[in-house]
Amino acid sequence: MRMHNLVNPDTVSPPLPIIPTNKWVLLDSDVLGERIVVIRDKRWLMEARQAHPGLAIYFPQEIKNLERFKGSDDDIRVIHKAKKGWKAWIIRSQI
C-alpha cells in the first residue's frame, strides 16, 4: 500500500509523526477510499475497536508489509476487505 497513495497527508489526524506517543492515529486512505486506524501496540486493540467501530485497524508493520506488496491497488483493496471482514492481520509471506 504505497504510503503516498494510501494516505492523504492533509487529512491525517493527528499528524503522522505523533504516532510514537499516541495509542493510534486515524488515516484517510486514497487507495482504500475510507478511513483506517493505525494502532501502535496491540494492548490498545480492544479500546481502538470500541472507539472506532467498523474501521479496519492496522499495525505499522502491516502498512510496511503492504507497501512492499507488488500487486495493484485493486489487489490491495481485496486484501483490505478480507482483513476488515475477518479482523485479520497482514503478515509478510516467507514463500
Q: What are the helix (H) ranges across the chain?
A: 3-6, 45-51, 60-68, 73-86
Q: Which three cell numbers stand for residue 32?
A: 482504500
* Domain total of the chain: 1
User: What's the confidence (pLDDT) of residue 74?
Assistant: 93
In a domain, 92, yes or no: no
Cβ–Cβ under 8 Å, residues 60 and 84: no
> Is residue 95 assigned to a domain?
no
User: What would the pLDDT profile of 5-19 be if each residue is shown by its tens digit?
Assistant: 454 444 444 444 444
CA-closest candidate to residue 73, choices 27, 25, 24, 81: 81
Provide the domain limits for residue 58: 3-86
Q: Per residue in 65-80, pLDDT tens?
A: 888 888 889 999 999 9
Of 49, 47, 27, 29, nearest in space to 38 by CA: 27
Q: Write the single-letter amino acid at 20.
A: P
